[in-house]
Structure 1
Amino acid sequence: MSEMITADLVDLDLAVNTKEAAARSLAERMVRLGRVTDLDGFLADVAAREAQMPTGLDGGIGIPHCRSAHVTEPTLAFGRSGPGIDFGAPDGPADLIFLIAAPAGADDAHLTILSSLARRLMDPAFTSALRTMTSPAEAAALIRGDAPEAAPSTLTEGSASGEEPPGAAGTAADASGPVAASASASASAGAPAEVERPAAGAESVSSTPEEPAARQGAGPERPAAEADSGPADGAGNAVPRGAGGREGAPGGGPSVPFRVVAVTSCPTGIAHTYMAAESLESAGRDAGVEVVVETQGSAGFARLDPAVVAAADGVIFAHDVPVREKERFAGKPTVDVGVKAGINRAAELIAEVRDKAERGEVTTPAAAKGGTPVESAGEPGEGYGTKLRKWLMSGVSYMVPFVAAGGLLIALGFAIGGYTIDKAPSVAEHFAWGQADSWAALLFQIGGLAFSFLIPVLAGYIAYGMADRPGLVPGFVGGSVALTINAGFLGGLAAGLIAGGVVMAIQRIRVPAPLRGIMPVVVIPLISSVIVGFLMFLVIGKPIASLQKALTDWLSGLSGANAVVLGVILGLMMCFDLGGPLNKVAYAFAVGGLASPNEGSLKVMAAVMAAGMVPPLAMALATVVRGKLFTKAERENGKAAWVLGASFITEGAIPFAAADPLRVIPSAMAGGAVTGALSMLFECTLRAPHGGVFVIPLIGNPALYLVAIVAGTLVSTALVVLLKGHARRAPAPVPAADEPGETQEKVTVAA
């Protein structure tokens, strides 16, 4: 197996000035070594990851990274920029850039080494050494954890007097070799990189395999028995320890430190996850707080010892993806934030959780601030509107696979058996193996069953997003009631929100300790299902069903100017965020109408799909018409965008929007509005919820439908070329280092 980083993957004079050019320059080194097979495909994956969340960190660090099918083995490239490059960090440009490339199926051992690097990036001495290195070989060795001759003196500078910089405990050990050993040991133990730093109060660094058990159990300062009898009552609630949990032990024993357990995770699970863990541990050492972190990264995760969780005085969740098995941390003061807050505001988070413990604020995972299983954790003060959007998106995201599978099966049934196939008898009673109509009926009926889950799944997972797993049962029950009384898509939305709210209210009720074990599996599902069923059947279900019928009738009667206005609105929504929340709302609205199809709902579905095809098709055409306005990577992405657009995958335009949102998104919206309006004006209909040009046989007025798509594509193409051409004429474009002879247009665009 090749080394993760070599001298050939180090550039100590990275002469570029944008993050895209930096990624390209470092990726080209990976290509030369055979670590990356498709440069542009890999860079597209890096850009897609960057679009999720900026990868710049405080302290002048940029860590672009991704998993990609174009990577042959886990690889790390390092570049050092004199003027710095903007990676979106709050404190300014990054001068240390680490490009991390992981295969789609990277093994745990290599990901553990990457996690070790991520932790070391939080050590000021390590980053200072990288800023002073003059040899690529020495820099590569330092990053690997080898022992170049210059590294020990650099890393231990300032410690001759017996002092260490904050968070630098164990740095010399890291530089002289134990990092690699400890990473390997932790991989075998299933706890990534947990052995490379001492816990609070530890006197020395140990790289033995036994240390993780000590840290996750009793900790180096107290025996295991004390951990097992930690400060928790029989219900698992934290017992206040006075000011910060430092009250002396019974019998006048030594003071017990405040104990915090934390979980960190990020979308890729390679870098931010482990950097947040290291930052929290370092801040804990500085504050005299014992912090034990569970990293839920790409290498899997090792569950914290239940005794450690029970003994903890507080919990910190620093995550951008759902925390797995969150219920383990119920009944404790909880701070729930995004993973970047765990990196940049670790000391504040520890102080916040201590304050909550002193005030006796005991929370559950579902009721913790910003903490739901499917939403990305938000910052403190997140508004109700943002939370509501996330709850609704959680239901839509789980519903979409049922839409895709069921809708396409229904479409295939129609394509093979004609529009009368919905009158066919059940295939369980009548099926002729040699008749096409029987196979068409089979496809149609399977698709119909999948479609019948749309409303219950929507409601169930909205409730799940609000209240965790206890919300599933009342959510599905409420969704099924909505389906039964013909309340449709609106009924499913209402049922999900009601179910989630009811469960959250029940969870706030303090119950005796003996009942807590059966609350999530018996009491909460029982009571909440009764309440939700009662409300949906007898109180609000009927009015919602009437509203749904009125909306359906209105859609059926749409014609002329009213239909065109609706088409414009749907087109704008589909193209605003290119597959994001607003796009999904418009799509879910259209799909909800297919559950009980009529002329109006079929027109809405046609307009939504047509508008969603425009952005990638327009970007693809623009790269052909005026290729010089786009980078080489964008021109390559344009080739793929033809297929993605034709397949109704709006996300094909995301790489273009991520690079130049102020010009690409308005152009896409204008074309989408034109297409949506024309589709409605031409009275096109669509019975399939997906498929693009591949379901043309299922489209009413297919020739005019294609005219609408072409018209919108031409409008978007003309606008994006015009706007980019104007930007290109701006003064003083900077030559691109990665593409000789072309101008660095992204610099002009960013300005």
Structure 2
Amino acid sequence: MKLSELTTNDLIMLDKGYASKDDVFKAVAEELLIQGIIQDKKVFINALYHREAESPTGLENGIAIPHAKSETINKPVFVIIRLKNSINDWESLDSSNRVSLIFLLAIPKQQTGTTHIDLLAQLSRSLMNPEFVNGIKNANTSEEVMTLLELTNKQEPKEEIRESKGLVLGVTACATGIAHTYMAAEALEKAGAELGYEVIVEKQGANGIEDRPALSDVRRAKGLIVATDIEPQNMAHYENVPYIKTKVAAPIKDATSLIKQVIDQPAGNYHSEQSVDSNMSEKKSLGTELYQSLMSGISYMIPIVVGAGLMTAIPQIGGMFFGIEGGTIGDAINATSSNGAVSFLYYLNSFGGFIFSLMYPVLAAFMANAIAGKVGMTAGFIGGGLAGGMIYALTGQENQTPSGFLGAIAIGFVAGYFCRFLNNKIKLPKNIQSLKPMLIIPLLSILLVYVLNLYIFEPIGGGLNNLLFDVISKSTGTYVIAIVIAMATAFDMGGPVNKAAFAVTMTLAANQSFPMTANILGCIIPPLGIGLSVILNQYVFKRDIYDESMEADGYTSFISGIIGISEGAIPFALKNPLITIPLNLLGSALAAVLATLFGVEIWFPIPQFWGWPLVQGLVPYLLSLLAGVLFVAIGNIVIRDYLATKKKKQVEKNDNWVRS
């Protein structure tokens, strides 16, 4: 398919007298409605203005490229409008731009990511060619314009750089993923060639990630220009490359100065939230990929858990102001209370429970996304819902044990790798390429996760959950139960054992068999303990046991503990597992025993500080918590200092032996 096939003579409007942007949009909408390309003029115009609100669509040299994605558009087209008189108030990158040549793109929302978008991207790149633009400005008829569009299908070879000064990388992305994304990339490539630099630009557009450079290219790059209006995806690939960050429109306006800036005055070395090992090979090891995908899923799940905790805590605490006993706001009688506030709190509490049910789908979906990209999210999300037992809640089936957290992890891995396999192996003709991500991959992957969950993950995961439930519930004595729960929760700081212990303890608390006190202590003592260890060492003990990065991680860990997130302690456990994990287990067990001794009871899954009003026995709870946190903090300082001193003495002994 050629560019000329995405427009017609009727959609090339030359020498029109439209005096404003609104006149242009209305005239185009009327013409597209007549031709059956759109269904609703008002919806289409609103979509155009919605895009205008995101960033200027006027460029320079009299050009504007308004565009819209909407379900009211039946097929992708573009319209060319040449005006008799320029529009002087069209918002543009260049404030002096007077718009007289408009390329208006109309894209069906359901057809993003197909060959049509490739062709529209080709149009956007063509706008960076002065000969193409001047040809349209000077054309006498629409037929001449169509001839120019035909010629754009013939790709000119890129100018070779005989003596390259080095490689510059770029990443471009705009809100719609079409016009500015490709125009910015084209501008960087042209400016690079003029300056003598090799330029590779990754486009994160409607087709996903395109033209990503090899890791070997990343390692030799002199700089990285991140030109985006949205948060770029999967940027760990560019770890430690000198970079600058700017808007996607900036290269279109002046790509030359950006290349000079990233070479001479970069903002620093690029660091993403998910960094990569600088020594890793071109292809990540399976273990590294599994770990990164799990951490990615957990990082997206944490806000869900925190949000659910907040939505559960507010009604429980709020109910107390209306004389409702703690923990009973969820009773059905409150739904029809004559007091509107009580009724609202009842439904807010139910809303909190609904949010909790989303944590497994979010976990599995983003694990699959980390492995396969967007094509993996559908199967991951649906499979996570199966792992969380949502199907049983909807169908009213009782006495069914879902696969739980372990099942969600397994489904996230399977969905990710299976969808990536299908995406790489299935080859379709270009005209039906969109069937792969919209039909074939979802169909096959959803069926797979359903069958695997039904016959493998649920029997295994549900069985392990039942086993842990039995171990906890059949333990002799409340102190033993508290110790087992606290240690299981603290063991891997938000990992599979932690989440399994949480699920089992919440079940016990729901039927009033055993409170969640030990689980909550085991959740927050590791991050609070290791965080306090760093703070005390920095201001009180002042031992040489934590480097600068660990000190920064320590403050993050302490803050995460305050808001009930265990994962803040993970960096310390990864660096020194034989110190960190045993101290976390013992500190959590100590606090659980003290809380049990004092008769502390917490029946709600709210480890954050805003759950304190729901604690039965707040003062002894805080004393128990403090004891566990101090044990972890002081223990880390003492042991780490002892080992550091021992190592220093050994080094000195070796030096003396060498000198002698």
Query: What is the TM-score when the length of structure 2 is the normalising length?
Result: 0.51
| Structure 2 contact 371–417 (Cα < 8 Å) conserved | yes
Residues 1:706 and 2:622 aligned together: yes
> In structure 2, do the counterparts of structure 1 residues 594 and 624 end up closer, same or farther at CA, with 3 Å as the change threshold?
same
| Structure 1 contact 481–536 (Cα < 8 Å) conserved | yes
| Code of the aligned partner of 1:425 | A
Q: What residue is the counterpart of 2:355 in the other structure?
A: 450
| Code of the aligned partner of 1:390 | Q
| Alpha-carbon shift at residue 316 of structure 1 (Å) | 6.6
| Structure 2 contact 386–453 (Cα < 8 Å) conserved | yes
> Structure 1: how far apart are the matches of 2:459 and 2:95?
57
> In structure 2, do the counterparts of structure 1 residues 720 and 285 end up closer, same or farther at CA, with 3 Å as the change threshold?
farther
Query: Which among 554, 573, 585 is matched to residue 673 of structure 1?
Result: 585
Question: Secondary structure of 2:170's partner?
Answer: strand
> Structure 2: how far apart are the matches of 1:286 and 1:600?
73
| Code of the aligned partner of 1:529 | I
| Code of the aligned partner of 2:468 | L
> In structure 2, do the counterparts of structure 1 residues 547 and 601 end up closer, same or farther at CA, with 3 Å as the change threshold?
farther
| Structure 1 contact 218–227 (Cα < 8 Å) conserved | no
1:213-362 equivalent positions in 2, closer than 5 A: 217=126, 228-229=152-153, 286=163, 293-295=170-172, 302-305=180-183, 324-325=204-205, 327-329=207-209, 335=213, 337=215, 344-346=219-221
| Alpha-carbon shift at residue 678 of structure 1 (Å) | 1.5
Deviation sequence 1:605-653 (CA, Å, 0-9, x none): 3311233322333444455644798999999999999877555467889
| Alpha-carbon shift at residue 571 of structure 1 (Å) | 3.5
Question: Secondary structure of 1:303's partner?
Answer: helix
| Code of the aligned partner of 2:441 | I
Q: What residue is the counterpart of 1:469 in the other structure?
A: 374
| Code of the aligned partner of 1:424 | D
| Structure 1 contact 555–600 (Cα < 8 Å) conserved | no
| Structure 1 contact 623–634 (Cα < 8 Å) conserved | no
| Structure 1 contact 606–686 (Cα < 8 Å) conserved | no
Q: What residue is the counterpart of 2:339 in the other structure?
A: 433
> In structure 2, do the counterparts of structure 1 residues 511 and 545 end up closer, same or farther at CA, with 3 Å as the change threshold?
same
| Structure 1 contact 623–638 (Cα < 8 Å) conserved | no
1:655-670 equivalent positions in 2, closer than 5 A: none
Return the index of the structure with the highest Cα Rg. Answer: 2
Question: Secondary structure of 1:432's partner?
Answer: coil
| Code of the aligned partner of 1:304 | Y
Residues 1:390 and 2:390 aligned together: no
> Structure 1: how far apart are the matches of 2:208 and 2:554?
47
Question: Secondary structure of 1:421's partner?
Answer: coil
Judging by fraction of residues, say which structure has more helix.
2
Q: What residue is the counterpart of 1:606 in the other structure?
A: 521
Q: What residue is the counterpart of 1:490 in the other structure?
A: 406
> In structure 2, do the counterparts of structure 1 residues 644 and 188 end up closer, same or farther at CA, with 3 Å as the change threshold?
farther
> In structure 2, do the counterparts of structure 1 residues 476 and 329 end up closer, same or farther at CA, with 3 Å as the change threshold?
closer
> In structure 2, do the counterparts of structure 1 residues 386 and 307 end up closer, same or farther at CA, with 3 Å as the change threshold?
closer
1:514-525 equivalent positions in 2, closer than 5 A: 514-525=431-442
Question: Secondary structure of 2:328's partner?
Answer: helix
Q: What residue is the counterpart of 2:45 in the other structure?
A: none
| Alpha-carbon shift at residue 388 of structure 1 (Å) | 0.7
Deviation sequence 1:478-531 (CA, Å, 0-9, x none): 222221352222222222222223312221223222221232123222232223
Question: Secondary structure of 1:672's partner?
Answer: helix
> In structure 2, do the counterparts of structure 1 residues 303 and 705 end up closer, same or farther at CA, with 3 Å as the change threshold?
same
| Structure 1 contact 475–495 (Cα < 8 Å) conserved | yes
| Code of the aligned partner of 1:675 | G
Unpaired runs of at least 5, structure 1: 1-107, 109-183, 190-212, 232-248, 250-254, 259-283, 350-364, 575-582, 733-751
Question: Secondary structure of 1:523's partner?
Answer: helix
| Code of the aligned partner of 2:530 | P
| Alpha-carbon shift at residue 566 of structure 1 (Å) | 6.2
| Code of the aligned partner of 2:408 | G
> In structure 2, do the counterparts of structure 1 residues 702 and 542 end up closer, same or farther at CA, with 3 Å as the change threshold?
same
| Structure 1 contact 335–369 (Cα < 8 Å) conserved | no
> Structure 1: how far apart are the matches of 2:426 and 2:345?
55
| Alpha-carbon shift at residue 466 of structure 1 (Å) | 1.9
Unpaired runs of at least 5, structure 2: 1-54, 56-91, 98-121, 133-147, 191-197, 225-232, 240-271, 393-399, 649-660
| Alpha-carbon shift at residue 692 of structure 1 (Å) | 3.9
| Alpha-carbon shift at residue 462 of structure 1 (Å) | 1.8
> Structure 2: how far apart are the matches of 1:645 and 1:546?
31
| Alpha-carbon shift at residue 397 of structure 1 (Å) | 1.7
> Structure 1: how far apart are the matches of 2:428 and 2:550?
61
Query: What is the TM-score when the length of structure 1 is the normalising length?
Result: 0.46
> In structure 2, do the counterparts of structure 1 residues 435 and 596 end up closer, same or farther at CA, with 3 Å as the change threshold?
same
| Code of the aligned partner of 2:385 | S
Q: What residue is the counterpart of 1:168 in the other structure?
A: none
1:365-444 equivalent positions in 2, closer than 5 A: 376=275, 379=280, 380-415=282-317, 416=319, 417-418=324-325, 420-421=327-328, 424-425=331-332, 430-433=336-339, 436=342, 438-444=343-349
1:694-733 equivalent positions in 2, closer than 5 A: 694-699=610-615, 702=618, 705-719=621-635
| Code of the aligned partner of 2:170 | V
